[in-house]
Amino acid sequence: MSDPLHIAGKTYQSRLLIGTGKYKDFEQTRQAVEASGAEIVTVAVRRTNLGQEPGEPNLLDFVTPDKYTILPNTAGCFNAEDAVRTCKLARELLDGHNLVKLEVLGDQKTLYPNIAHTVRAAQQLVDDGFDVMVYTNDDPIVAKELEDMGCVSVMPLGSLIGSGLGVLNPHNLLLIMEEAKVPILVDAGVGTPSDATLAMELGCDGILMNSAIAHAREPVLMASAMKKAIEAGREGFLAGRMPKRVFANPSSPSEGLISRD
């Protein structure tokens, strides 16, 4: 079944995007990336050596740009200016590469996005010719604004970065997807394969994760689990679930019921 994901003019078979931080070393990163089947790999420009430190191990020797789409991100930026500057640095380091993942965070403790700064930075980057994939909260009005501005993908959080709490508000994701014409990728919060399967069943176009793999007891095996979980969820979405059947008799005393779901 051919069911590719299109982002910024390129076509991908995998709908799993993964981060490169938090692994034991670059070799484990490489193994996890390989096991995950990911084709897009995101890199925190401020924390990862992509050539800024000439004598040190360079991630790009392990996860190579000829094989993977490298997606530089602005992790660690807490205002629009820092984020824009970081994207420009990434473009230089990667020889004119225009694809970036923008994140502007609200505080050190929760890493929740600062939306006012995110919107401002996104506008500047789009104007400057970047292809912007943008991390955001799950506000559907904001998601639409970011799409209308020209972002190539909108990436709402499932829950806080590094929390592993899964998709806390699937209803908001549905509202976002219903209006979207660009790919909606869940970014942050997924902790387990079932979290990933569930998010894909909702209809989202893909998922970006890092801690769920890197902080598993066995990261490489979890990378394999996540690959399958995402494919399972996507195929389940396309195959269309069986109807649910509740065995409640509508003429019974439970009519008018205040039920749990």
Question: Cβ distance 39 to 29 under 8 Å?
Answer: no
Residue 192 CB, shortest distance to a copy of itself, in Å, is 5
Residues 6+ apart with CB under 8 A from 176: 138, 140, 143, 144, 154, 156, 184
Binding to a copy of itself by residue 168, rule CB under 8 A?
yes
Q: How far apart are alpha carbons 219 and 212 in whole angstroms?
A: 8
Q: Count of CB atoms within 10 A of residue 58's CB?
A: 16
Binding to a copy of itself by residue 206, rule CB under 8 A?
no
- Is 211 one of the annotated binding-site residues? yes
Among the residue ranges 51-59, 95-103, 126-134, 207-215, the one whose residues contact a copy of itself (CB under 8 A): 207-215
Q: Which of 18, 43, 142, 152 binds a copy of itself (CB under 8 A)?
A: 142
Strand locations in 76-142, DSSP E?
Answer: 99-102, 131-136
Residues 6+ apart with CB under 8 A from 34: 223
228 is catalytic: no
Question: Cβ distance 111 to 99 under 8 Å?
Answer: no
Binding to a copy of itself (CB under 8 A) within 46-75 occurs at none
Binding to a copy of itself (CB under 8 A) within 179-198 occurs at 191-194, 196-198
Residue 91 CB, shortest distance to a copy of itself, in Å, is 28
Residues 6+ apart with CB under 8 A from 51: 58, 60, 93
Helix, strand or coil for residue 171? helix
Binding to a copy of itself (CB under 8 A) within 86-115 occurs at 106-107, 109-110, 112-115
Q: Which is nearer to a copy of itself, 10 or 171 (CB)?
A: 171
- Is 254 one of the annotated binding-site residues? no
Q: Which is nearer to a copy of itself, 64 or 248 (CB)?
A: 248
How do beta strands 10-12 and 16-19 pair?
A: unpaired
Binding to a copy of itself by residue 79, rule CB under 8 A?
no
Residues with a known catalytic role: 101
Annotated binding-site positions = 162, 188-189, 210-211
Annotated binding-site positions for 1-deoxy-D-xylulose 5-phosphate = 162, 188-189, 210-211
